[in-house]
Structure 1
């Protein structure tokens, strides 16, 4: 059996950098888990005459997408009525998410992860950073999710959300879960870890000190920061410092940190994040849904901050999140000429951070020697794609289109719109059967 696969013909866009190289009538050659060549379809077929062909039908051939902030555990909340008013961010947390996470059991943790990973595959996301929490089945929950990641065929960076909101004993258990998973999977090619924290206002000084002392030097944090004014307000009231000051005080603000949201940050704090080398993760759809405002993306970038992109569990559709970020800039500035320069580097920043964590310098690029993370988006572009207009195609067309093929580390996970590693019909049936009991446990929990 020939081990080389040629993906084409189509329009190849080699990266998400500004004005990337574009190959028309192009193709990608893959052997095992690596890309071995990029070129025209004609040339690659001549070079590898016995290769298997994965027909791109003229579609757009892109690097696999990276999602820097997801919440798999939220998948079974679709259609759930909290049964109480939720007028602000604090009430949303207490009335919905902090009840749902406590209602999860091992079955629904696994189902939630499987549903989310199936969606990632369907939308061309080949590397995903998940921020998990399930207090009622905490121990071993990251390994449970890791098993599903392996089954699905994606790459993932997992963390457990440490919080004192249910008591310090649970916070300690969360720390132990993170450290054990990091120890088990430190150099795994497709599974890596970060140290998860909920947010400053629910993590005590005692817990942060323990995290600081026990965290390995090469293990970054993954935390919600300034998602709403509530974070700063309660952090000041409870601990006498701002959320960013607390992270800095305990030595957690560094170049490996992932800081989700940043909606309520001032310019001085954004400058400090830029100096630290941490990455700020914009989640535009979630921020709109929770009515917490929006990250001042333009200011953050002007101050030298690296900004990436996530979905915060709202979906797994990264190109939809990119479009939402773009439209948010236009709505926020009132300037119909704005947005292109502002969002042009978000997907590339995601790829660079994933490349750092996986020790894969070429991750997120279609180039010789890179991990074979490749997606094909259908249908073919109706107008010419050039290095100068790739972003316009992504925002105004491709973000609304469907993924035909998803390939992760050389393994075809979606072929001609159909999953190959997951039985999505069976998963949906299992979720439909399990969700009533989950929702009933949810309703029995108070806030």
Structure 2
């Protein structure tokens, strides 16, 4: 691989590449997922593995658009304020009932919204425009308003004709899609299998979340944060035991995980210290290093490699950098494997809601909160956005993208943001 010598690091022989180039390299090693069938009740949020076409027209019968009377429209040609046309009512048709009556000239049938329009009728007169009388045991409906052919009748195939595309491949299934599948009786849904992703935190300083605090040690929060991010992206996370600062142990753990899972994500051990074991591991024989430095802040030491054909992501142990690295690299890999039409988070131009003074020669991704003011979206940078700071992650719903070399930004400047999963605007 050819890299610029800029921003290199002697210990790990790092050469920085852009975020876009790093994303390109990992996506080149991302294969499409396999297909599995799941019950419709379990298909929400999944990605469709194949295009689906309508197995029948919808609606598959002529449907009344309202409560009223099914009639032959030609019978109403003389209707008006001064002339009432009377038709004999020969049937009453609730939803789910199919009439045996043929509606000929001079006849009508009471019909409910959504019911099948009887043969012979070509229009429905709304109930509010009619009146009734009884004569010699027969019921007659009076009409004073002309209707045309097809009025208040939904034709066969109005929404979708048989064989038309119902849902395209790669469509994520939400409420509307689930409703469409149920309408067409697709109760076993072909979806892309969720990638199974192992999460391994490294560092002898880590405690499990149920352990009491100890001097100099911290609880392992990154694994649980990554599990949520992976699940939101569409993957199936599995948190493995944390690994101590030993390269041999880390290598065995990673290799075992790669044999069982689609991808492995680690946090910690990728900096330049004496105990940064992942930085050493990815330089060992049999490892195809994709990159080990990216021109981004936080998370410039984010690393990716291919081992035995499997993708390994080594993220920073700093919570802020770990969070950003997962959104920028792991999320699009998951989405690409799932066949999503858009694997990347949406990027919008908005207004900066407060001054921002930090300048860097790398692209900076600043945690921020978006809000709507007077119909415009503003992004307010987090008060504390250090890579090692965890607490501001929970209050952020977007990342402000600050290109390298950008000078100090002022409130009101136009900026780009990346909208995070589930981010709301208030």
Task: Verify same fold: TM over 0.5.
Answer: no
TM-score (norm 2): 0.27
Greater helix fraction, Structure 1 or Structure 2? 1
Greater strand fraction, Structure 1 or Structure 2? 2
Question: Relative contact order (C-alpha < 8 Å, sep 6+): which is higher?
Answer: 1
TM-score (norm 1): 0.26
